[in-house]
Structure formats: structure tokens, C-alpha cells
Chain A
Amino acid sequence: MLPQNLGSETNIKLPFSFIIFSLIALVVSQLLLLFNGQMMAGGAFRIPAIWSAAHLMVLGWALLAAMGSMYQLVPVAFLTKIWNEKFGFLQFFVTAIGISSFAATLYLSPKNALIPGILTLLGILMFLFQMMMTLKTQAKPNILTAFVGTALVCLFLTITLGITLICSLKTGAGAGHYQAIFQSHLLLGLTGWFTLLIFGFSYKMVPMFSLSHGFPMIQAKFVYGFYVSGLILTLISFLTGQNILLKLGFFLLLAGFSIFSWHISIIIRKRLKKKLDKPFTFAISAIGFGNLIHLAAFILLWTPSFKDLVGPLVYAYILLWIILSITGYLYKIVPFLWWTYKYSKEIGKTKVPSLKDMMNDKLIVPVLSSFIAAVLIIFCSMAIKSLILFNIGQIVVSITFLIIALSIISVLKK
């Protein structure tokens, strides 16, 4: 039995703090990439400027946007209030200072990144603790709890492996395992944390934004089973060097992702809202890109080109799956937060705008379409090592990111 009369609104200043910081980090990361593009286009990813930009984008932008969204969505998805909002604000300051100083030291002096890294770790651990305490109060755990809970475990492992990498870099200890730890760090961060998190919340947000009813949920168990098994097998393959396990792991990841795509298409077909909002359709299209990248990775694994294309594939996975999903949903979440702040006390007394009125809808299609095209250009430039193509793509990506950041911030004027 579901609880009656359950209010679920969070103090919007909490998710907003995370989201505004994430937008600033996004802009800075793009400027760093723009000024260091020549090295990345040449296939050099492991240089301080790229480390700094990558961590600003993945931690500063995607992680903080995900944290902010979780502060808003966890009460919605799990019908429980955030455990302690004051602790949430403290966690925001620790994480924001940690990530800012971490990105700065990665750029200026990577060997001194340990202390800022530990501060970032502390911020993430505080977030994990907050979420653990919040999820503990959920009356009846469900498959969404499994997705989000496993994503949180993967986040913990990712950051622990990241700290291990910095220690290894500083002291030289465990240098023989550096490659395996680095690969595991990437896998757990991208597929374990972000993908499982997006899977979990999609099961709440897709029916909510499309007003779908009467769809089956059995497929979600298969998505979880296949994807998590794939994740575990791939991790074991990194540690043991067993190529067959890597292929099997990639196959299971592909199978899990494909079932997810199929399941979401079933939910969308059961929708009552015939005309979907534009940002939401882009979040849905990100699922197609993610599925395609999983398929490409699995096929290329059987060819000698895999080694050369794994960097571009990871880049495309971050931009076209993770960031496109988060951006699409942010275009829904930010207007909602601002609307709640400004109009929730007015509703019923005076005429208030709808959520759609809070955002300039016309900008979204050209901006996000240009973003997708530019990422594909960058993907090709990395594959064929073309600096000119890379710079063209990166300039367009940076401009679209700036427009995205400004258009999301412009909601605050409504």
C-alpha cells in the first residue's frame, strides 16, 4: 500500500546549487578542450589539460548535475524525503570546492592532486551517505532501487579507483596494474554509475513526461541482470587479461542496453501525451546513440581497429549518451524547480504559466541537433586524426554548450 498524503518537494535551493555549479564547470571544461584540442586530435588523451577538462566535464558537470537531479528526483521516484537537507548543502560546498581544486591541480600540477582528490572523495562519500540514509527509509524497495543503489556502489568504486590511480602516479606503487585500474575506473564511472543511474530514473521520468500507463515492467529485471553481469565480467577481464571474458562482458552490456531501448519504446508506445516535449525527445534519442555505441564497441572488439577507436567511442558515449540524456532532462527539471520556487504559492489564486512557457522551446531543436552533429564530427576527427576537423567540431560543441548553459540559466528570468 502506498503512503497517503506524501509531500515530496525538496528545498529547491539544494538541487539548484548543484545544477548552477555544473553549468559553470561545463563552460570551463569546454574552454580547456578548445585550447588543447591539437593534442587530443593527435590521440594524446593522458595529458594534464585533458585530465582537467575531462574531470571538470564528468565530475563538475555530469556528476554535479546528476547529484542535483537526484536531490530532486529521489523523493519523486522512491516516495521518501531527503534524509537531511542541511547536510546536503554542506555536501555541496565540500564537493564543489573539491572538484574545483582537483581540476585546477590536475591542470597545473597533477602530482599534487591527491589532497583535492580526497576532498572530492569526501564530498562524494557524503552524498553516498545522504542517499543511503534516504533510500533506507523507502517503504518497499523495487527494481528502481536496484538500479540506483548499484549505480551508487559503482560511484564509490570509481572514485576509490581514481584515488588509487593518483597514489600510483605519485608513489609509483602498483604501476604494473595501472592499466587495469584505469580501465576499471572508466568502466565503473561511465557504465556502472551514469548508465545505471539514467536507466533507473528513466523508468520514472519516461512514463511521467509521456503520461504512459499500463506498460509491463518485467523487462527491467532483465536489463538489470544482463547489464550488471556484463559489467562484472568486463571488470574481471580487465584484472585477468582474459579476452574471451571481455567479449562476453561487452555482449552482455550490449544485450542489457538493447533490452532497455526496447522496453522504453514499449513505454513510449503506451503514452497518452501524443506530442512529446522537444528536450524529452532528445533525452530519448540519447538511448539510441548509447545502444549504437555499445553495438559498435562489441563489433570492433573483434577487429584490430578497436585499440584506435576506443578513445573516440568513449568520447561519443560520454557526449551522446550521458550528457545528451542529462541535458534533455535538465531542460525539464530546471523549469520545474524554478516554477515551484516562483509559482507554487500562486497556483489557484492567479493564472500561472505552464512549465512549457518557462523555456524557449524553439532554440532546443537547432542547438541540440548542432551539438549531435558536432560530436559526430569530433568522433570522426579522432578516428582519422584530423586536427582541422577536430577544431571545427570542438568550436561548435563549445558554442552549443554555452547556449545550452545560458538558455537553462535564462529560465531564472521567467
Chain B
Amino acid sequence: MDLEEKILEALKSVYDPELNINVVDLGLIYGLGISDDGDVQITMTLTTPGCPLHDSISNGVRQCLEGLEEVKSVDVNVVWQPAWSPDKMTEDGKRALGIW
């Protein structure tokens, strides 16, 4: 398993506590950058602008990745463009929400 896959797998342990679906299946992770030195940059969003769980979820993502041995530093950037939409969810996420 390469580091990118390992990071995405780890992020599946970070849940949106309101919807009880992890950030990967919810389609909140927009981008993932890894430098040779192990510096990780995450670009992500939330389901609604001004989500009250903004700081909690973005800190959760940071804390989760800081626990990985291969990761030296983590930078989480929350963006609102493009806005989140349901088509960004994985099939598992849609199933958990009852869309399928």
C-alpha cells in the first residue's frame, strides 16, 4: 500500500459526527499532496459553508494523519469552491445515507 492509499484509508476513521459517515465516503476530500519529505497537504470541504463542525472535522483530519509514521507535517486547507454536492460521495457513502 503506498502512502496515498494509506492516508485515504486512515481518513476513513474521521467521521462527520452529525451524519456518522467518514470524510472520504462523504466526498469531502478534494485533493491530497505529498512531498518527498513526508509533508502532506489536504484540500477538503464540508457539506455546508459555515458548518459548525468546521474546526472539529479539519482538526480531526490533521490529528489523524499526524499519527502516521511516514507523515512529517500536515496542512489542511478547507475550501468552499467547488461547493460540495452529493455526486462527490462514494457508493458506500450514498448507501450509508440511504440514497441507494
Contact = CB atoms under 8 A, between A and B. Distances in A.
B73 interface: no
A369 to B, nearest CB: 24
B52 A9 contact: yes
B5 interface: no
Contact of B59 (A77, A348, A353, A355): A348
Nearest to A336: B52
Contacts of A72: 52
Nearest to B15: A354
**Interface size grouping (class) on chain A:** 35 or more
Contacts of A214: 85
Nearest to A74: B50
A2 B81 contact: yes
B49 interface: yes
Interface in B30-64: 47-64
Interface stretch (A45-53, A117-125, A169-177, A267-275): A267-275
A349 B97 contact: no
Most interface-central of A3, A73, A347, A349 (chain B CB within 10 A):
A347
Nearest to A345: B59
A347 B60 contact: yes
Interface string A1-37: 1111111110000000000000000000000000000
Interface string A358-400: 0000000000000000000000000000000000000000000
B81 A1 contact: yes
Nearest to A349: B63
A211 to B, nearest CB: 6
Contact of A8 (B52, B59, B67, B81): B52
A356 B20 contact: yes
A9 B46 CA distance: 14
A75 interface: yes
B14 interface: yes
A2 B61 CA distance: 22
Contact of B79 (A4, A209, A272, A344): A4
Interface of A: 1-9, 72-73, 75-79, 204, 207-209, 211, 213-214, 272-275, 336, 339-340, 343-345, 347-349, 351-356
Interface of B: 13-15, 17-20, 47-65, 67, 77-81, 85-86, 97-99
10 contacts: A8-B50, A8-B54, A9-B55, A76-B50, A79-B49, A273-B97, A274-B98, A274-B99, A345-B59, A354-B20
